Each structure stands twice: as C-alpha cells, then as structure tokens.
C-alpha cells in the first residue's frame, strides 16, 4: 500500500509517495507552462494553486519525436516540471544533485532515470527537471530576445527553485551539484560560463560531454554525417537559420517584420515545428545568458570556480557506429574505410590508417568506432580536463566495463563501454538488462564516489581506492574487476591526435 506524504511549497502543497527507503515527488511545476505567447520566452513564475497538488506521476516530457535511441513522443509544451527523490529518514542539510538528462538535445525526459539508488546510497536529494529541447529550447529568429538559450534558462529556473524550496525536502541550497550526461553535460558546461548561473550551484559533474570544444571531423560523430561545427552558435547565425527555416516551411508571411513573424511562429503547431527540431540543438552565445562561446571561455579560464568531476566511457563511439551504421544496414567496410578517412582527415588520412590498421580490429566498424572514440570524445575531453584542472580541483574518470549492458540493443555488435552505458550503474532505467552482482557493486561504488564529491567537493571515500585529482595526470578507471589509475592518453593515442585535424 502506497503511503502519501505532503510538502508545503511557496506555490502550494504537493502530495508525493513514501516508498522503500525514499520519498518520491514527480511533476512539480517549477515555472509556468511555456505555451501560446510564452513560447520562446524566458520561463515565468508558477501560478500558486489551491488545495493539494498530486505529484505521484511524471510530468509531460518536453516536445519531441521518437528516435531509434529514445522511444518517447510528445507534442505538449506544458513541460516545465521536476522530480525530487530524497531518503525517507528525516534530516536537514543534505547535499543536492540536480540531474540534467541527455538525448542529443532533442530527446529525453527526467522520468527515464530513477535515482533512488543514488539518493539512498549517498544520502543526497536528487532533483531532475524537464526543460525545453530542440526547436523549443534552442530556436533563434530576428527580434527574439536571447534566442537559442531557452532550455538553459529553464534549467536556471529549476536551479532557482532549488534555492527556494529544497530545504523543505531536507536539502541544502548552499551545496548543490549540477550533473549532466551527453547533451546534459554540454549544458552544464554552458552554466559554468553563464553569468546568470552564478551562485546557483557549487560543484559540477560532466559525463561524456560532446562538442564542448571545437569542431568534429566528418563521420566521427556518426558515419555519414559531415563535419560538425562547434556546439555553440553565434546568436546572429542562429537568427539567420531560424528565419530561413521559417520561410522555407511557409510558417511566416513573406515580408513580415520580426514582431509579426514571431506572432505567426507562435501559432505554428508543435508537431510541425518538431520536424526541424534536430537543426536547433546548439545553444547560442552573444546574449545575456551566454555572452561568449563557452569553448573559448572555458579554455581561457573564464568560468565559475568550483570543484569539477568529469569523464568519458572507454568505447563512446560504439553506440553511434553500432546504431547508425551497422544496425542501419550500412556498416563500415574495408572498401568504405579509406573514403571515410580521406573525408574526415584529408592529407593526414594515411597516417590515421596506419595507426588504426584494420587488421588490429575485429571489423572495420570497430576500427572506425575506435577512431571516433579517440578523436571526437577522448581528445576534447582530455583537453578540457587539463584546461579546467589548471584553475580548480578537477577529477577525471573513464567508465571501462566492456561487458556493460547495451542501452540500445545492438545485435551482433560488441557494444563495449559505449556512450551512456554507465547510466544503468547509477540509475534504474526502464527495460534495462539486469546487472551482475559485480556490476551492481561497481554501480554502488560509483554512486559513493559521485555523492562524496557532491558532499565535499572531492570523490575520496575512506574504503574505496584513492582517486588523485586530474592535476596529477590521473584518470580513474571504473570497471568491476578494477578501480584505479589508467594511462588514458596512451589508451586513446592522444599524443598522436594532438597533431591531427
């Protein structure tokens, strides 16, 4: 039998659930619904509600279309809610973890990630917001103030909610860790440099952030995808893209002034806008939220000083090569390998081919996945980690369980420690393959490291292997059979890649 529990917030009373060892509240509004005239505007305050609001079911996912890696579809823009999970035992002053989900910038929802193990193991309060994605979160257009940052502004509104309300759940608003994976980690990097995020969090965790620094050569994100620009776009460039997209789809009357054009765009059905959502995943800089490119700011040391924990998985790119090449019926072959190399690396293609000779790998797809892992994930993560460690305490990890369950089934393809595979060790995910006892133990140890970092700004745990900071060059390998230092630079040929395109 479910036991209910109520909490009085400044906007009204909510009713959640008391479950085994934890409390769960879902779908708590932290800002007004960004619908109608509120589309592409900063998040507005929540209207107080009378009586008791039920928060025992997830809030709406942000508008999105289902993808091969995320089977969720939603067209409801009323999505600015968050979930709170806390240990059931009464307490005050617990550290707070705010979790920003990944999903490529177009997909994802807080409800996918059940953080009860994280909360209970580390005695922390976990907050997981939904926020605008894709064309609703990163759209820009002439006349649109601070375009390209609406998803970031939503996350800031959730962090301000934490400052106001989290003590009511036993959390400490003066000890907040912002934690994100994949595109969520990209947004954590943005908040590290955003002046309007100052003081809203005190530590940060970046798991497998993609595109934080610089551009990505052709095919090294997904085979068949051309070279990608940096994941940060100038506001003026985004405005031009938004205007061109609106004109191409006939959403705006030709010759309309910016104000009239935006009025028309706010009436376009969400389902139509979602058709172009993948073109709007790059936060814009040049406005109030992001005055400059986070890539430049981070490398120059212009970011909010705080302890940082970051890392990657050992085989990041196997997810993308396995899903979008092999599973799609278009694997990398011995015949296509030289062409991919030439298009990605130009005059350096022969050097890369020699370093990653096909006879070293089980299949050409695995060879290409290793190239992509090393160039598109390990190299920029290492460069970012070294830059951050020059200014603040930074700890670097590599999730290395090559027997990890595959987040998305890849029949016949060795998934290894692919992108996002560590999440099943930290959260309970729907439909996940069960972890072995050794993997479950690794997940417990990881959560203890993460929550120790959230508590004190250092992942050190008395009864776990030591974890020196990245300033020493140390990278902590996390696998069931071994936790300890690894030669990350040698493992991913980083000296070689330092002189490559």
Q: Which residues are catalytic?
A: 182, 316, 419
- 113 in Cβ contact with 427 (< 8 Å): yes
Structure tokens at 146: 């601070």
Give 493-500's long-range contacts (Cβ < 8 A, gap of 24+). Answer: 493/355, 493/374, 494/374, 494/378, 494/379, 494/382, 496/355, 497/374, 497/375, 497/378, 497/379, 498/379, 500/345, 500/348, 500/351, 500/352, 500/375
Distances (CA, A) of 455 to 77, 120, 175: 35, 14, 7
Question: How far is CA 114 from each of CA 119, 141, 208, 432, rounded to the nearest angstrom?
Answer: 10, 37, 19, 12
Tell me how far apart the alpha carbons of residues 96 and 81 are, in angstroms, rounded to a whole number.
Answer: 17
CA pair distance 11, 31, nearest whole angstrom: 10
Q: Cα–Cα distance between 404 and 256 in angstroms, integer? A: 54
Whether the Cβ atoms of residue 321 and residue 365 lie closer than 8 Å to each other: yes
Nearest one of 233, 63, 236 to 141, comparing CA atoms = 236
């Amino acid at each position: 039998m479910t036991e209910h529990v109520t909490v009085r917030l400044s906007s009204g009373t909510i009713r959640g659930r008391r479950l085994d060892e934890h409390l769960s509240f879902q779908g708590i509004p932290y800002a007004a619904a960004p619908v109608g005239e509120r589309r592409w505007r900063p998040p507005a305050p929540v209207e107080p509600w009378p009586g008791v609001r039920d928060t025992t079911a997830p809030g709406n996912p942000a508008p999105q279309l289902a993808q091969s890696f995320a089977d969720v579809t939603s067209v409801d823009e009323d999505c600015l809610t968050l979930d709170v999970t806390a240990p059931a035992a009464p307490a005050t002053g617990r550290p707070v973890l705010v979790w920003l989900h990944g999903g490529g910038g177009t997909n994802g929802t807080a409800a996918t990630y059940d953080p009860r193990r994280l909360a209970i193991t580390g005695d922390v309060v976990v907050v997981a917001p939904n926020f605008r994605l894709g064309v609703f979160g990163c759209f820009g257009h002439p006349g649109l103030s601070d375009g390209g940052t609406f998803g970031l502004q939503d996350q800031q509104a959730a962090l301000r909610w934490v400052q106001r309300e989290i003590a009511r759940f036993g959390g400490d608003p003066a000890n907040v860790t912002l934690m994100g994976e994949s595109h969520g980690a990209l947004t954590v990097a943005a908040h590290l440099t955003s002046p309007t995020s100052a003081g809203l969090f005190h530590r940060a965790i970046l798991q497998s952030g993609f595109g934080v620094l610089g551009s990505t050569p052709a095919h090294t994100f997904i085979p068949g995808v051309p070279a990608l620009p940096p994941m940060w776009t100038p506001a003026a460039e985004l405005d031009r893209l938004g205007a061109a997209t609106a004109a191409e789809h006939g959403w705006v009357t030709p010759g309309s002034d910016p104000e009239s054009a935006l009025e028309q765009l706010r009436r376009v059905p969400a389902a139509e806008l979602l058709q172009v959502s993948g073109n709007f995943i790059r936060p814009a800089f040049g406005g109030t939220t992001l005055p400059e490119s986070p890539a430049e700011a981070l490398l120059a040391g212009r970011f909010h000083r705080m302890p940082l924990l970051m890392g990657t998985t050992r085989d990041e790119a196997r997810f993308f090569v396995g899903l979008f090449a092999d599973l799609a019926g278009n694997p990398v072959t011995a015949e296509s390998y030289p062409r991919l190399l030439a298009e990605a690396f130009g005059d350096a293609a022969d050097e890369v081919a020699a370093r990653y000779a096909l006879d070293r790998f089980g299949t050409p797809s695995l060879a290409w996945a290793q190239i992509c892992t090393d160039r598109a994930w390990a190299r920029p993560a290492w460069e970012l980690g070294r830059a951050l460690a020059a200014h603040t305490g930074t700890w670097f990890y590599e999730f290395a369980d090559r027997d990890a369950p595959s987040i998305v089934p890849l029949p016949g393809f060795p998934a290894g420690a692919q992108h996002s595979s560590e999440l099943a060790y930290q959260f309970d995910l729907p439909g996940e393959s069960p972890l072995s006892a050794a993997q479950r133990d690794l997940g417990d140890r990881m959560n203890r490291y993460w929550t120790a970092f959230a508590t004190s700004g250092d992942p050190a745990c008395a009864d776990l292997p030591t974890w020196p900071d990245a300033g020493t060059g140390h990278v902590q390998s996390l696998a069931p059979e071994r936790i300890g230092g690894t030669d990350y630079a040698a493992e991913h040929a980083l000296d070689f890649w330092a002189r490559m395109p």
